[in-house]
Amino acid sequence: MFIEIKNLTKFYANYLAVNNINFHIEQYKTVGLLGPNGCGKTTTIGMMLGLVTPSNGEIIIEKKNINSFKRDQILKRFNFASPYVELPKKLTVRQNLEIYGRFYGVDNLSNRINEISGDLDIKNFFERKTGELSSGQKNRVSLAKSLINKPEILLLDEPTASLDPDIGDFIRGYIENYKSKNKITILLASHNMSEVERLCDSVIMMKKGKIIDNGTCESLIKKHGRNNLEETFLKLARSKDEL
Amino acid sequence: MNYKKIYALGLRHIYLIMNSFPRVLDLIYWPTVQIFLWGFISKFFTLSSEYYSNTVGVILTAAILYDFLFRASISFNMMFLEEIWSRNFTNLFIAPIKISEIIAALTLTAILRTLIGLVPAVIIAIPLFGVSVLKLGIPLIFLLISLYLFGITLGLLVTSGLLRYGPSFENIAWASLFFLAPLGCIYYPIEILPNFLQIIAKGLPLVHIFEEMRSILINNYVNYANILKSISISMVYFVFGVIVFYISYFGAKKRGTLINMGE
């Protein structure tokens, strides 16, 4: 087991954001983290990234508690992308990738920047300021930043939110291709069910801070007697009682 | 600490300055206006005040040193706020860069921003008002070190507030130095303050720095013990600032505010 989440709980001052969740992610697999807005997905990702201190429970990487690693050593193995988190707007795309490459101690940085910018088709706006880019361009730059260090563990929070179908499909295709060629473990939080079906080996369904179901997309669709993951999601999200 | 990561974060802010000419102008504009204003006030005082009659430029030198403190603190705050405004906070705090490296990078880069703003103003003061801070001689270096440490400390305390309370704490960032200025005895001797405030003021490095500046310019006397005292006090505050920053950082992680900062 590569990543194991044990009894993870997060209390904020007046509410319970994540309620004693348990799951694991096998190495080189892609797991979808699904659930309605406010169900605790972002808090769970935040705890895995060390941005939020859990109130209880453990995050275990390769059988070792994440706290036993040095902060910079463990974070070197992770990366993260989200359209809600941006790169410095006044810096050019090249400058941003250079800065983050340096943070992650990437060897042969200029080669890596060249490689990833070619793959993600961002070279034609390389010298433009990041704040001047369109949403689709920003998302591709954000994804480039998240892969600059060839992370072992990639956390993606709605990577295709607010993108047009063409760019969304490009991003999904890129992630699909990238994971087939690289040894990477991905946790993908998304509201796009077709994206989840396309990219994820299994999914975890959350609601009100709890995991209410998990399994492969096919098994969940079958278990809940629906035609696709979207219908399954709606059934679970709208159910009054936890299943 | 990894100097390459410190350099990388410094480079992020150097690129920011290099990419924007209006930003460089803004850095230079305010100190220059300040020097002009205090230059004319200083000129008037040297002509009209018995206390300052033999020493040209005491007030202007005080203004320059105070501006150095102000710019150091504001530069530190601005660089931190820049991460919030650009919604880059999460990316920065999930990067494999230690908190000590972030503090070191901001501390070292703040000097660059400070100097970009202040050096042209200081140069202008020489031909225009016949005042050069270099007249303070070697002690100037130590006074600047003490001021810088204290300026960065104020920056650390304000950024700790930003971590604790979020961007709404921003207004305090601008007000922080004005709060301490009356107790700093920048333009007047400590005896002007009421007794109880003198006790508080002596606990700040500013009083010792500016008293020493006046002593050098007016009496031509350097008291290195006083300078050492000001550096020691600044160092104590700096360590306190670093501790408060760490406490705020761990508090922010507990409250989950790091993940939403700037959104």
Q: Is the whole-model pTM more than 0.95? A: no
Which residues of chain B are within 8 Å of residue A100 when distances are taken between CB atoms? 91, 95
Side-chain half-sphere of B93: how many Cα atoms within 13 Å? 27
Q: A interface mutation test: which of B19, B85, B94 has the most A CBs within 10 A? A: B94
Indicate the residue type of B229.
Answer: K
**Cβ–Cβ of A92/B16 closer than 8 Å?**
no
**Cβ–Cβ of A46/B19 closer than 8 Å?**
no
Report how far residue B81's alpha carbon sits from residue A140's, in angstroms, rounded to the nearest whole number: 25
**Cβ–Cβ of B96/A12 closer than 8 Å?**
no
3-state secondary structure of A112: helix
B164 in A contact zone (CB under 8 Å)? no
3-state secondary structure of A3: strand
Q: Walk me through the domains of chain A, giving residue ranges and CATH numbers.
A: 3-238 (3.40.50.300)
What is the enclosing helix (H) or strand (E) of A56? Answer: strand A56-61
pLDDT over 60 at A243, yes or no: no
The mean per-residue pLDDT over the stretch A107-131 comes to 92
The mean per-residue pLDDT over the stretch B90-102 comes to 92
Instruction: State the helix-helix crossing angle for A165-181 and A135-147, rounded to 10 degrees.
Output: 10
pLDDT digits (tens, 9 = 90+) for B57-66: 888 899 899 9
Q: What angle do CA A190, A54, A9 make, to 5 degrees?
A: 70
pLDDT digits (tens, 9 = 90+) for B171-189: 776 777 777 888 888 888 8
Chain A nearest CA to B112, separation (Å): 18
Contact B83, B92 (CB under 8 A): yes
Closest A-chain CA to B82: A88
What is the enclosing helix (H) or strand (E) of A167? Answer: helix A165-181
A180 in B contact zone (CB under 8 Å)? no
Least Cα distance to B19 among A3, A139, A132 occurs for A132
Contact A92, A71 (CB under 8 A): no
For residue B9, name the pLDDT band (cuts at 50, 70, 90).
Answer: very high
Q: What are phi and psi of B76, to 5 degrees?
A: -60, -50
Chain B nearest CA to A10, separation (Å): 9
Q: B interface mutation test: which of A91, A94, A138, A158 has the most B CBs within 10 A? A: A91
Pick B253's closest partner by Cβ from A52, A88, A92.
A52
B7 in A contact zone (CB under 8 Å)? yes
What pLDDT does residue B84 have?
85
The interface predicted TM-score of the complex, written ipTM, equals 0.88
Closest A-chain CA to B263: A84
pLDDT digits (tens, 9 = 90+) for B123-149: 988 998 888 888 888 999 999 999 999
Pick A51's closest partner by Cβ from B8, B83, B93.
B93
Domains of chain B: which residue ranges?
3-259
Chain A nearest CA to B223, separation (Å): 44
Report how far residue B199's alpha carbon sits from residue B189's, in angstroms, rounded to the nearest whole number: 14
3-state secondary structure of A93: helix
Tell me how far CA of residue A12 lies from CA of A17, A38, A49, B104, B162, in angstroms.
7, 13, 18, 31, 19
Chain A nearest CA to B86, separation (Å): 5
pLDDT digits (tens, 9 = 90+) for A136-186: 899 899 999 999 999 999 999 988 887 888 888 888 999 999 998 888 999
Per-residue 3-state assignment (H helix, E strand, C coil) for chain B: CCHHHHHHHHHHHHHHHHCCHHHHHHHHHHHHHHHHHHHHHHHHHHHHCCCCCCCCCHHHHHHHHHHHHHHHHHHHHHHHHHHHHCCCHHHHHHCCCCHHHHHHHHHHHHHHHHHHHHHHHHHHHHHHHCCCHHHHCCHHHHHHHHHHHHHHHHHHHHHHHHHHHHHHHHHHHHHHHHHHHHHHCCCCCHHHCCHHHHHHHCCCHHHHHHHHHHHHHHHCCCCHHHHHHHHHHHHHHHHHHHHHHHHHHHHHHHHCHHHCCCC
For residue A103, name the pLDDT band (cuts at 50, 70, 90).
Answer: very high
What pLDDT does residue A143 have?
92
What pLDDT does residue B52 have?
64
